[in-house]
């Protein structure tokens, strides 16, 4: 028997038993936040921007504490993230409760569109919601949209830095090892550019909480080829470009 997801229809309309506003111990965060899904990328960003480790990280009931850094001018927070939509949604909700206004994802993504190659930069304008977290925040539909204002700003920053980039949609999935050839072919025909595991969740939380969110990726692997390319070190070329974008984003 077919089921709806989430199990309770129109769940997004109802008030939760408790919310991220219950956890305001982070206090006075910078309004601009980067969620980084690569230790290598985080290191590149910290080489470009003078930052200090935040003494109290983002703690999940003692189970896991995320490393976070704040620029010395208190304009930017960098959070080192594990992959996945649930932790992205929860972390974003906590950050927003503590003052974040502009959140961007920076990380790697697989290429579905054959125009893309290793290390290319893709700015994301919308995400296919093939994950769970976003559907708990906003009405279920195919796409979650990035914030136009922030996405356009990332494009402007990239142009100003003379960084070549593509702009297009991504496919957000919860299961990296279940990206099937049939799905890849289907989404490619829909002109989806990339696949990753977080963007739709962030965009949905941002819409629910009325803040700005976007995402920018470096291509790490090629899924449009008959045989999977494996991950490629040329994505680090893209990481260096992302770090340059981060430096300008800080001063937003």
Stretch 55-70: mean pLDDT: 81
Confidence of residue 61 (pLDDT cuts 50, 70, 90): low
- Domain membership of residue 36 as a residue range: 29-53+64-250
Average pLDDT, the chain: 93
- Answer whether residue 13 is part of any domain: no
- Answer whether residue 19 is part of any domain: no
**Ranges assigned E (strand) in the chain:** 32-36, 51-53, 58-59, 65-66, 68-71, 76-80, 102-111, 121-130, 143-145, 166-173, 194-196, 212-222
| Cβ(95)–Cβ(27) below 8 Å | no
Return the CATH number at 238.
3.40.50.1580
- Answer whether residue 72 is part of any domain: yes
Alpha carbon 220 to its chain's center: 15
- Structural domain count, the chain: 1
Check whether 1 has a pLDDT greater than 50.
no
Q: Which residue has the higher pLDDT, 17 or 211?
A: 211
- Answer whether residue 6 is part of any domain: no
Confidence of residue 234 (pLDDT cuts 50, 70, 90): confident
Helix (H, G, I), strand (E, B) or coil at 236: helix
| Tens digits of residue pLDDT in 112-125 | 999 999 999 999 99
- Answer whether residue 1 is part of any domain: no
- Answer whether residue 164 is part of any domain: yes
pLDDT, residue 24, reads: 63
Q: What is the pTM of this model?
A: 0.95
| Cβ(105)–Cβ(114) below 8 Å | no
């Amino acid at each position: 028997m077919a089921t709806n997801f989430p199990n309770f229809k129109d769940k997004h309309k109802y008030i939760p038993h408790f919310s991220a506003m219950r956890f305001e111990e982070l206090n006075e965060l910078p309004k601009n936040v980067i969620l980084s899904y690569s230790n290598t990328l985080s290191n590149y960003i910290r080489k470009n921007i003078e930052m200090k480790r935040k003494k109290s990280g983002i703690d999940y009931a003692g189970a896991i504490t995320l490393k976070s850094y704040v620029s010395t001018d208190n304009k930017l927070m960098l959070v080192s993230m594990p992959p996945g939509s649930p932790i992205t949604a929860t972390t974003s909700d906590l950050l927003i409760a503590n003052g974040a206004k502009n959140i961007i994802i920076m990380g790697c993504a697989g290429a579905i569109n054959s125009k893309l190659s290793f290390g290319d930069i893709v700015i994301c304008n919308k995400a296919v919601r093939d994950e769970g977290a976003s559907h708990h925040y906003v009405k279920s539909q195919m796409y979650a949209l990035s914030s136009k204002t922030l996405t356009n700003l990332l494009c402007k920053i990239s142009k100003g830095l003379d960084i070549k980039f593509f702009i297009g949609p991504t496919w957000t999935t919860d299961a990296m090892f279940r990206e099937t050839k049939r799905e890849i072919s289907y989404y490619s025909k829909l002109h989806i550019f990339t696949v990753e595991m977080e963007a739709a969740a962030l965009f949905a939380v941002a819409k629910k909480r009325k803040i700005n969110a976007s995402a920018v990726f470096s291509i790490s692997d090629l899924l449009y080829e008959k045989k999977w390319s494996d991950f490629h070190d040329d994505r680090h070329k893209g990481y260096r470009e992302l770090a340059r974008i981060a430096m300008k984003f800080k001063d937003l």
